[in-house]
Amino acid sequence: MEVFADRREAGRILAAHLKFLRDEDVVVLGLPRGGVPVAAEVAKELRATLDVLCVRKIGVPRQLELAMGAVAEGGIVVREERVLTIAGVADSTFVACQHAEQHVLDDAVERFRRGRPLTNLRGRTVVIVDDGLATGATARAACLSARQLGAATIILAVPVGPAEARGSFPEADRVIIAVTPPHFSAVGLHYGDFRPTSDDEVTVALDEAARRMHHNDVNASMEFDNEVVIPVDGVRLSGHLHLPPAARAVVLFAHGSGSSRTSPRNQFVAEVLNGAGLGTLLLDLLIPTEELDRGFVFDVELLATRLLAAAHWLRARPDTRHAALGYFGASTGAGAAFVAAAKEPGQVSAVVSRGGRPDLAGRYLGDVVAPSLLIVGGADDVVVELNRNALAKLNAPSRVAIVPGATHLFEEPGTLAQAATLARDFFVSELLAGAVREGVR
C-alpha cells in the first residue's frame, strides 16, 4: 500500500504533524541514512537545526533484516530479548555482532560529522526522525543516546508505523506517527520510491540545512520563495522563484518538456543550489498544451527565446536587477540554454547541462562565451558522445564531467546528488565568486 511518493514527500507530510514546534528551540536528528531526507524536510518546515544521530541495527545472523538489538552514539546498546530468545542467539554471538556494528557506526560518525561535534542537545527539545518504524530497536537506541546527551524532551517522529507503537516507547516523551496503516508490514511497502539513501545525499542535506540556518540568522525576512508568472509573446509561463536574502546570483532552469517547475530532479538540484546561497527560477518553458507536441519540445529556438524573456524579467525586478545569472539545462533545455547564451552573451555568466543535448544548439555553440559544465551519466553512452562533440565546438572555458554509473535520468542511488554537487560548486565558483570579483573592480 503506497502512501508516500518518496522520503521527501514523507518528510513534508510528517512536518505538518509537528508544526506546533515551529520556531521553537528544536534540534531535528535524522537517523542515517534513510531518515535524513525525511528529517531535512521536517527541519526546513520547523526552521530548526538539522543533524544526524548515528545508530546501527544489529541483525540476527543469517536474518540480518530482523533486529536483535542496536547500537548508538555514546556507547548505547539495546537488546531485543524476545528476538534473541526466539532466534536462539548466544550472548557471545550477540557481543561479536555488536562489536562489528560498533565499528561501522564509528566510521559513519566520521563520514557524516567530518570532525565536528554533535549539535548540543542539553536542555533542548529533540525530534528524532526515521523513514518508518518497524521493530523499533534503532529508534530506542537513538532515544537513549539523545537522553544521555542531555535532551530535555524527546519526540520520536516517523511518517509510517504501527499504531500500537505510540504506547510502546517509554524511551521517548512523545511518539508521533503520521500514518498508521491498518495492516502495517514493511516500511518500504508504503513508499513509491524507497531506494537506499547514499552518503552523498546525507552530506548534501546536512550542508543545505546548515547554510539555510545561517541565511535565516542573517536576514530571513528578505527571503523570497513563491510561484511566479512570466508573460512571453501571448503565453504565460509558470515558474517558482526562490531568492535568498540579498541574492547575488540566480540560476534559471530550462527543461524542454516544460516540467522544470514540478520536476523532482530539478527541485532537488535547486535545493542544493539554494543551500549554497544561489537563487533559482524553476521555469516551465512550455504551456501544458504545447508539451504534448514533440515539435515544441525540440524547438530550441523557441525555448531559448522564452528563456531569454525570463532573464529579461529577472533584470526588471529590483531584487535581481544586479544578480549574476546562470542557466541550468536538462534534456533539450540544454540546447536552448546554449542558444540563449550565444544570442545574448551579456545576460549569462555560466551554463550547466545535466544529461542534456547541447548538440541541439548546433552553430550557436561557437558563439558561447560563458564558462560551461556538461554533466553526463557514465552509463548514458549516446549522450556522452553527443556532449563530447558539443564540447569540441565550444570556444568558452568548458569541460565534461562524468558521473560514474549514472544513466540518462540519474536515477541510480547517489548519482543525482553527485550531479547537483558538481553544478553547485561550478555555479558558486562562476557566479558568486564572479560577483565578488565584479564588485572589487
Q: What Cα–Cα distance (Å) separates residue 288 from each residue in 190, 236, 298?
A: 31, 11, 15
Say whether both 187 and 325 belong to one domain.
Answer: no
Q: What mean pLDDT do residues 8-34 have?
A: 93
- The predicted-structure confidence for 90-140, as pLDDT tens digits, reads as follows 999 999 999 999 999 999 998 888 778 899 898 899 999 999 998 789 999
With cell 526522525, the residue in question is 129
Confidence check: pLDDT of 60 > 90 = yes
3-class DSSP assignment, residue 161: coil
Q: Is 85 found in the same domain as 164?
A: yes
Please report the pLDDT score of residue 222 as a whole number: 60
Q: Distance between CA atoms of 326 and 321, rounded to whole angstroms?
A: 14
Measure the CA–CA gap between 8 and 90, rounded to whole angstroms.
Answer: 40
> What's the pLDDT at 219?
45
Asked whether the predicted pLDDT for residue 435 surpasses 60, the reply is: no
1 lies in some domain: no
- Give the strand order in the sheet containing 153-160: 49-52, 26-30, 125-129, 153-160, 174-179
Mean pLDDT on 17-22: 92
Q: Which pLDDT does position 217 carry in this prediction?
A: 52
Residue 203 CB partners (closer than 8 Å, separation 6+): 111, 112
Residue range 280-307: mean pLDDT, rounded: 87
Q: Which domain holds residue 307?
A: 223-440
Residue 215 lies in a domain: no
Percentage of the chain beyond pLDDT 70 is: 95
pLDDT (0 to 100) of residue 207? 85
How confident is residue 292, by pLDDT bands cut at 50, 70 and 90?
A: confident
Torsion of CA 218, 219, 220, 222, to 10 degrees: -150
23-57 pLDDT, tens digit per residue, is: 788 999 999 999 999 999 999 999 899 999 999 99
Q: Is residue 216 part of a domain?
A: no
CA 330/CA 354 separation, integer angstroms: 5
| Gap between the Cα atoms of 57 and 162, Å rounded | 19
Cβ–Cβ contacts within 10 Å for residue 155, how many? 21
259: pLDDT confidence band, cut at 50, 70 and 90?
A: low
Overall average pLDDT of the 364-374 stretch: 96
CATH number of the domain within which 165 lies: 3.40.50.2020
Whether residue 213 is contained in a domain is answered as no
Does 2 fall in a domain? no
| CA–CA dist 282, 260 (Å, integer) | 5
Q: In the structure, what pLDDT confidence band is assigned to residue 255 with cuts at 50, 70 and 90?
A: confident
Cell numbers placing 128: 528524532
DSSP 194: -
Are residues 170 and 111 both part of a single domain?
Answer: yes
CB 111 within 8 A of CB 62: no
> Structure pTM?
0.56
Domain containing 235 — which CATH number? 3.40.50.1820
- Residue 31, SS3 per DSSP: coil
**Same domain membership, residue 421 and residue 374:** yes
- Say whether the peptide bond before residue 33 is cis (omega within 30 degrees of 0): yes
Domain end call among 153, 176, 208: 208
Residue 350 in 3-state DSSP? strand
Report CA 268 to chain centroid distance, whole Å: 5
Q: Domain count of the chain? A: 2
The full length of the chain comes to 441
188 and 246 share one domain: no
Domain boundary among 182, 208, 234: 208
CA dist., res. 64 & res. 365, Å (int): 54
Same domain? 314 vs 187: no
Residues 203 and 60 both lie in one domain? yes
Per-residue pLDDT at 216 exceeds 70: no
Q: Is residue 214 part of a domain?
A: no
3-state helix, strand, coil in the chain (%, to 5): 45, 25, 30
Strand order in the sheet with 372-377: 224-232, 235-243, 279-283, 249-255, 324-330, 350-354, 372-377, 398-403
Q: Per-residue pLDDT tens for 373-421?
A: 999 999 999 999 999 999 999 989 999 999 999 999 999 999 999 999 9
Are residues 270 and 184 both part of a single domain? no
Residue 166: per-residue pLDDT: 87
User: CB under 8 Å to 117, separation ≥6 — which residues?
Assistant: none
How far, in Å, CA of 301 to CA of 298, rounded?
A: 9
**Of the residues 181, 208, 235, which one is the last residue of a structural domain?**
208
Whole-number average pLDDT of the chain = 89
**187 shares its domain with 234:** no
Residue whose C-alpha is closest to residue 373's, from 352, 397, 404:
352
218 located within any domain: no
Residues 282 and 334 in one domain: yes
The pLDDT-based confidence of 221 (bands split at 50, 70, 90) is very low
Within a domain: residue 217?
no
Are 11 and 38 in contact by the 8 Å Cβ rule? The answer is: yes
Q: Are residues 69 and 100 in the same domain?
A: yes
Instruction: Give the residues across from 126 on adjacent strands.
Output: 27, 154
Per-residue confidence (pLDDT) for residue 83, from 0 to 100: 92
Answer yes or no: do 316 and 267 share one domain.
yes
